[in-house]
Structure formats: C-alpha cells, structure tokens
Amino acid sequence: MTEASGGAVRVVIVDDSSSIRAALRSLLDTVPMTDVIGEAADGLEGVDVVLELRPDVVVMDMQMPNLDGISAARQILEEWPGAQILMNSAYTDESLMAEADSYGVKGYLSKDLRPAKLVRAIVALGQLAQHDDAPLSTA
C-alpha cells in the first residue's frame, strides 16, 4: 500500500450489522492510510452522515432497514455527485449491480472477498478522490 498524499483516506461505514461496523472500523483503524470518520446503521442515517461529513469513501451495505443501500447511494449521489461509494454486500445480484452502476456508484464488492482487497479498493478510490475531484468513469 502506498502512502496517501493528501492525508489518510476518510471513510464512512454504512451497515446495519454492528459486528461488521466494529470489525471494519477496527481493520481500517489498523491501516495507517485510512481513517473511519463516521458510521451509520441504516440507509437513512447513512445519507445524513455522508452528506454532513463528506468522506473520501463510503462503504455501503445493500440490505438495511428503513432505507436500503442502493436507494441511499442514489439519494447521496443526487445531492453530491462526487461521492465515492463502494457497495459492500452479501448479495451479488447482477441487476442490483447494474442499477447501482447506473446511479454512479463506483464499485460493487462482495462480502466474501478477502478483506485486504476491500481495504485496497478503499485506499485506491480514496486517493483518486483526493487527487482529482472529477468522478471516475468506472469502478
């Protein structure tokens, strides 16, 4: 992993599972290049937290109470088109992936992926976001 030029990548975790939030926060805290600046336990709260904190990267679960991940991502991107959102889900449904892509979501990762890859994706996306405000064309 390379060192972030603009400081640590600021991350918000949106996931209804407290275990996931705690474990991911603990992992990202161990990585020097990332800094978890906020958490949300459902989509509605996620929209508020993200729009308020404007993190470099959002790690968003798909299935959540109150507002699901895809709808939350859509609302965030409508308000803030530059948001870098990574969907992180137990489901890998093609149509959901396509839908997320159409809203401008930057990536779609399965929860069965090795955590190191998730970390690398977060760091890479975060650093790109810090260097260039323009949205990436693909995830």
Partner 1 sequence: MPLDDASDTMDPPSERTRWTGAHKWVAGQTALIGLVGATLFYTASGSVKTDIWMTSTGLMLATMYLGIFRFRRANLKPWLLVAGGLTSAYVAMFLMNYGSWFGLSFGAPSLLDGLMLANYPLATLGAIIMLSRFNVRTGMHALLETVTLTVAGGLLIYVFVGVRAAEAAAGTAATIVAALYPAGNVLLLAVLVAVAVRLRERPGGMLLVALGFAGNLAADLISSWQRLEGTYQPGGWVDFGWLLCFIGLSAAPSWPESGRAVLLSESIDTDEAQMTPGRLSILLFALLSAPAVLIGQQLGDADTSETVAVLGTVVVLALALGRIALYNQDLRRKEAALQAANAELVQSQNDKQSLLWRLNRAVEEERKRIAADIHDRPVQQLAALGYKVETVSLALMSGDVDKASDLTEEVADELSEQLTNLRNLMTEVRPPVLDERGLCGAIEDAGRAFAAKHDGVEVTVEGGGGAIDAALEPDAETALYRIAQEALANIGKHAEASNVTIEIRDVDGDVELTVTDDGVGFRLEDRAGFVGAGHFGLAGMGERIAMLGGSMDVESEPGAGTSLRFRLPNDVRSTTDVDHQPQGDLAATGA
Residues in contact with partner 1 by the rule CB under 8 A = 17, 19-20, 22-24, 26-27, 30-31, 63, 90-91, 111-112, 114-116, 119
Rounded to a whole number of angstroms, the minimum distance from the CB of residue 26 to partner 1 is 5
Q: Please, what is the minimum distance in Å from the beta carbon of residue 78 to partner 1?
A: 28
Q: How far is the CB of 54 from partner 1 (least distance, A)?
A: 24
* Shorter beta-carbon distance to partner 1: residue 63 or 130: 63
Task: Return d(Cα 72, Cα 61) in angstroms, integer.
Answer: 10
Q: Can you list the alpha helix ranges (DSSP code H) found in 31-133?
A: 43-53, 69-79, 94-103, 115-131
Of 112 and 133, nearer to partner 1 (C-beta) is 112
25 membership: H or E segment, kind and range: helix 18-30
- 8 Å CB contact between 111 and 89: yes
